[in-house]
Chains A and B, each alone.
Chain A
Amino acid sequence: MTDIYLDNNATTKVDRAVVDMMIPYFLEQYGNPSSIHKFADGVAKGIKTARQQVQSLIGCEHDSEIIFTSCGTESNSTAILSAVKAQPNKKEIITTTVEHPAILSLCEALEKDGYTIHRMPVDKVGRLNLDAYKKLLSDQVAIVSVMWANNETGTLFPVVEMAEMANAAGVMFHTDAVQAVGKIPMMLQDTKIDMLSLSGHKLHAPKGIGVLYLRRGTRYRPLLRGGHQERGRRAGTENTASIVGLGKACELALEHIEYENTHVKAMRDRLERGITEQIPHCFVTGDMYNRLPNTTDIAFEYIEGEAILMLLNKAGIAASSGSACTSGSLEPSHVMRAMDIPYTAAHGTIRFSFSRYNSMHEVDEVLKVMPGVVATLRKLSPYWDGNGPVANPEEAFKPTYA
């Protein structure tokens, strides 16, 4: 059996067609795009095409609204720091408790600088309360930053509606859409979203390339200053090969967007149904009725995620976990805590994320392996007794805190 990769929300395989597009930019057209000679004369054109390919995928009005960056994190930092710098008198930021660390850590740092951060909570399936959101919007808010899709559960936030609300209140709106772009259709020109971050390596382009979409007319301050690249909005020599690769990847993503929402979704659904039917005491986290087509996050009670991953890895299956131990921290994932998932389950969450490279055959293989993995670890667990959890598990085993 060949290895099965179900960790596509972490990163993806680069599409062969993308690699093929990139190679000439390493070996032939390696000139600096700013140079006037034949080593560079095709580069500007390559970048222009790529810009249009990204534009088509996200449906923005102008290709000049695309700024190439080095990654999703850079796009996020640029967006938020630009908003606070361009509006120095606005000292509040609205975000959510379940954002990626790329947003949360930055907000924490800004909090130390005196900013008030409104972190909106979520309910047990990861949904926001839009009435509460509306009350937070005011002329004191520099920017709202809300992710389009959650990286762990795939849950979608109503960013189009939230951007309308922000716009009506005169507040800038940014969305971290690294998990959403290429997986669900979007048409930015019909929305009031001012800024959007995307990352190449989540959609079969290489690592080290990202995009910040910046709606025309949005107030802006660059993060990196220097040369005139990207019209001075992001200085630094262009990562030409990766830009061209990202363009191709966006074109392919657009071609496959229906496949993603039919075939890929069917694989995800089959895996999820198979696991929850076969294995007792496990449940899907997040909003099952409003999420990415490729993601399922399942909590296996009374066992720990890293141990599950190690056994899966031994069986040739790659996934990821929200447990504390996989990251070396003491707390399980902040997303699971935000949804109030109990500790005995939060440590045992496993995320399976698909791509168009997966197959139904692979789903069946995982379904063969998974029940055994869970049973093996439950046999070791002090919370498990024979065929079920011990009665009243939180009471039956109350260890001394160490």
Chain B
Amino acid sequence: MWDYSDKVKEHFFNPKNAGAVVDANATGEVGSISCGDALRLTLKVEETTEIILEAGFQTFGCGSAIASSSVLTEIIKGMTIDEALKVTNQDIADHLEGLPPEKMHCSVMGREALQAAIANYRGEEWVDDHEEGALICKCFAIDAVMIEEMVWANKLRTVEDVTNFTKAGGGCASCHEDIEAILEKVLAEKGEKFDPEAAPAVAKPAVAEVKAPMTNLQRIKKIEQVLESLRPALMADGGDVELVEVIGNTAYVNMTGACNGCQMAAMTVAGIQQRLMEVMGEFIKVVPASEMSKLVNIA
């Protein structure tokens, strides 16, 4: 059985705003019957203020799909449609006090239904820009489509490459066979053959040759550079990172936006640390800035 939060159970057992809104002027329908979830979201939008007065859902789906739909209607009621468009799937998951990685797609479905409904209200056609594949890496919630795209775009050849680019396979290792199957498939499409013993196509970033130990200033600048290079990936997930302080070889960072409080934040921090060590060629410890106060107190 899934480890659902109390909030998920609450919204599942007592869903809010179930059913279609009478005289709705916005409807969004998303989902896929083969995957077992589909959602119709209906809204009543006040036309002068563009405030969402009422929201109702009809969902064919599992416990977390119903809970995500229910909490979504609660979140957006009273918002203007512009405000509502800023609601992310992470917001939906956060309101539910988290969802298991396999169930995050339920929150994505909620956000997409909302976008579709607002597009419908505005007389636009909503195009789904997000294709979701089977979940491959459960540790880091990476799906097959994401891996395939990365393999295509970056000419990846080995499981190690895939892990370096997507994090997939960097945890418990149970998905390595699946990743190999994806590599095999994509490489075959490109007319190449997958070789499980190939050297990674993308050489690990060369370890910087450090003649003399870096000064603290050089180190800080370098760390800033690396964080800058990681920022686009974090922002794609709705998060960001900020360097707060560097003491010796410990870098204190603030994870902000969607990263803040995200269950994956700890893994992201580990990923940043790994990247820093590779680039700087020395041991760097990345620690959330919240830990810094403890240090000061001890000192």
Bound form: Cα–Cα A343–B40 in Å: 18
A344 in contact with B33 (CB, 8 Å)? yes
Contact of B126 among A302, A326, A332, A400 (CB under 8 A): A400
A399 in contact with B134 (CB, 8 Å)? no
Contacts A328-B135, A380-B18, A402-B31 given; indicate if A303 touches B36 (C-beta within 8 A): no
Bound form: Cα–Cα A401–B29 in Å: 9
Interface residues on B, range: 35 or more
* B15, B32, B57, B103, most chain A CB atoms within 10 A: B32
B59 in contact with A381 (CB, 8 Å)? yes
Q: Hey, which chain A residues are within 8 Å of B30, CB to CB?
A: 399-402
A400 in contact with B36 (CB, 8 Å)? no
Main secondary structure of the interface of B (DSSP, over half): mixed
A367-402 Cβ-contact flags toward B at 8 Å (1 or 0): 000000000000111110000000000100111111
B109 in contact with A304 (CB, 8 Å)? no
Taking the closest CB of chain B, its distance from the CB of A273, in whole angstroms, is 27
Taking the closest CB of chain B, its distance from the CB of A343, in whole angstroms, is 5
Contact of A402 among B63, B102, B103, B132 (CB under 8 A): B132
Contact of A304 among B15, B58, B65, B130 (CB under 8 A): B65
A104 touches B (CB below 8 Å): no
Q: Hey, which chain A residues are within 8 Å of B60, CB to CB?
A: 302-304, 344, 347, 381-383
B35 touches A (CB below 8 Å): yes
A324 in contact with B35 (CB, 8 Å)? yes
B255-268 Cβ-contact flags toward A at 8 Å (1 or 0): 00000000000000
A304 in contact with B116 (CB, 8 Å)? no
Q: Hey, which chain B residues are within 8 Å of A399, CB to CB?
A: 29-32, 38-40
Bound form: Cα–Cα A268–B248 in Å: 70
Taking the closest CB of chain B, its distance from the CB of A339, in whole angstroms, is 16
Name the residue of chain A whose CB is nearest to the CB of B40: A382
Q: Hey, which chain A residues are within 8 Å of B38, CB to CB?
A: 382, 397, 399
Bound form: Cα–Cα A313–B13 in Å: 11
A306 in contact with B62 (CB, 8 Å)? yes
Q: Hey, which chain B residues are within 8 Å of A323, CB to CB?
A: 36, 62
Bound form: Cα–Cα A61–B18 in Å: 62
Taking the closest CB of chain A, its distance from the CB of B69, in whole angstroms, is 8
B34 touches A (CB below 8 Å): yes
Taking the closest CB of chain A, its distance from the CB of B56, in whole angstroms, is 10
Task: Name the interface residues of A336-380: CB closer than 8 Å to any CB of B.
Answer: 343-344, 347, 379-380
Taking the closest CB of chain B, its distance from the CB of A385, in whole angstroms, is 10
A36 touches B (CB below 8 Å): no
B3-46 Cβ-contact flags toward A at 8 Å (1 or 0): 00000010011010011000000000111111111111000000
Q: Hey, which chain A residues are within 8 Å of B9, CB to CB?
A: 310
Taking the closest CB of chain B, its distance from the CB of A5, in whole angstroms, is 14
Taking the closest CB of chain B, its distance from the CB of A67, in whole angstroms, is 29
Contacts A310-B12, A380-B58 given; indicate if A397 touches B134 (C-beta within 8 A): no
A37 touches B (CB below 8 Å): no
B62 in contact with A325 (CB, 8 Å)? yes
Q: Hey, which chain B residues are within 8 Å of A325, CB to CB?
A: 36-37, 61-65, 103
Q: Hey, which chain A residues are within 8 Å of B12, CB to CB?
A: 307, 310
A330 touches B (CB below 8 Å): yes
Name the residue of chain A whose CB is nearest to the CB of B111: A402
B161 touches A (CB below 8 Å): no
A379 in contact with B37 (CB, 8 Å)? no
Bound form: Cα–Cα A303–B61 in Å: 7
Taking the closest CB of chain A, its distance from the CB of B115, in whole angstroms, is 10
A343 in contact with B18 (CB, 8 Å)? no
Bound form: Cα–Cα A361–B101 in Å: 40
A129 touches B (CB below 8 Å): no
B65 in contact with A400 (CB, 8 Å)? no
A295-335 Cβ-contact flags toward B at 8 Å (1 or 0): 00000001111110011011000000001111011111000
B59 in contact with A402 (CB, 8 Å)? no
Contacts A303-B60, A399-B31 given; indicate if A380 touches B36 (C-beta within 8 A): no
Q: Hey, which chain A residues are within 8 Å of B126, CB to CB?
A: 400
Bound form: Cα–Cα A320–B36 in Å: 16
Name the residue of chain A whose CB is nearest to the CB of B30: A402
Taking the closest CB of chain A, its distance from the CB of B123, in whole angstroms, is 16
A304 in contact with B37 (CB, 8 Å)? yes
Contact of A382 among B39, B64, B108, B128 (CB under 8 A): B39
B140-183 Cβ-contact flags toward A at 8 Å (1 or 0): 00000000000000000000000000000000000000000000
Taking the closest CB of chain B, its distance from the CB of A238, in whole angstroms, is 30
B37 in contact with A401 (CB, 8 Å)? no
Task: Name the interface residues of B116-133: CB closer than 8 Å to any CB of A.
Answer: 116, 126, 128, 130, 132
Bound form: Cα–Cα A331–B37 in Å: 11
Task: Name the interface residues of A256-287: CB closer than 8 Å to any CB of B.
Answer: none
Contact of A401 among B36, B61, B128 (CB under 8 A): B128
A381 in contact with B58 (CB, 8 Å)? yes
Contacts A310-B12, A402-B108, A402-B109 given; indicate if A397 touches B29 (C-beta within 8 A): yes
Known A332-B36, A380-B59, A402-B30; further 9 A-B contacts with Cβ < 8 A? A310-B12, A310-B63, A325-B103, A328-B135, A344-B60, A397-B38, A398-B29, A399-B38, A400-B29
Residues of B that sit less than 8 Å from A by CB = 1, 9, 12-13, 15, 18-19, 29-40, 57-66, 100, 102-103, 108-109, 112, 116, 126, 128, 130, 132, 134-135, 138
- Of all A-B residue pairs in the complex, the 3 with the closest CB atoms, nearest first, are A325-B62, A328-B102, A306-B62
Q: Supply 14 A–B pairs (Cβ within 8 Å), ascending by A.
A: A304-B36, A307-B12, A307-B61, A323-B62, A324-B35, A325-B37, A330-B36, A332-B34, A343-B34, A383-B60, A397-B38, A397-B40, A398-B29, A402-B32
